[in-house]
Structure 1
């Protein structure tokens, strides 16, 4: 994991610069232990680089740290998948 707040919180930058819907985002995968969740609650967070709304897309929970790492590998650099998720998140907002 690239960044870590504590052993119960993990962050990893999936994309430094991703254009989606006319807005440029930095994209992070955030995994955290949460009350009532077995394993890790996983969210992809789109942070606008200039103006725009933050977008959060929940992924299915990960059962282990190894599964969180697998998700990072799966989504890191997968710009088309990240744009698709961004569009889904924006539609829900």
Structure 2
């Protein structure tokens, strides 16, 4: 997935298939400019590949595009960290 949709929206696929607590997800990082937010509002979105609910986990705001790219680099392929965030977002 491309890192940008428009100048105010960036998204990147972190994992095509990530199993977390019995559910398989596609995982995307979404960063967007938002009213009242300095820099970028960053969310990790878990989309179930079958049955299950979508999970969204807000991360701290990113000050710049470079910081968004750094987050992508840190989280891409970091399956255990992504599972931790998934569980946090699911309330467990």
Give the TM interval when normalised to the shorter protein.
over 0.9
Q: Which runs of 4+ in 1 moved over 3 A?
A: none
* Structure 2 unaligned residues grouped into runs of 5+: none
Q: How much does 1:26 deviate?
A: 0.2
User: Normalized against structure 1, the TM-score is what?
Assistant: 0.95
* Structure 1 unaligned residues grouped into runs of 5+: none
Say whether residues 1:90 and 2:84 are aligned partners.
no
Match of 1:15 in 2: 15
User: Normalized against structure 2, the TM-score is what?
Assistant: 0.96
Matches of 2:80 and 2:2 in 1, distance apart? 22
Matches of 2:2 and 2:69 in 1, distance apart? 11
Q: 1:69 to 1:3 in 2, by over 3 A?
A: closer
Match of 1:26 in 2: 26
> What RMSD in Å do the two structures reach over aligned CA positions?
1.2
Per mean C-alpha deviation after superposition, the further-off stretch among 28-37 and 1-10 is 1-10
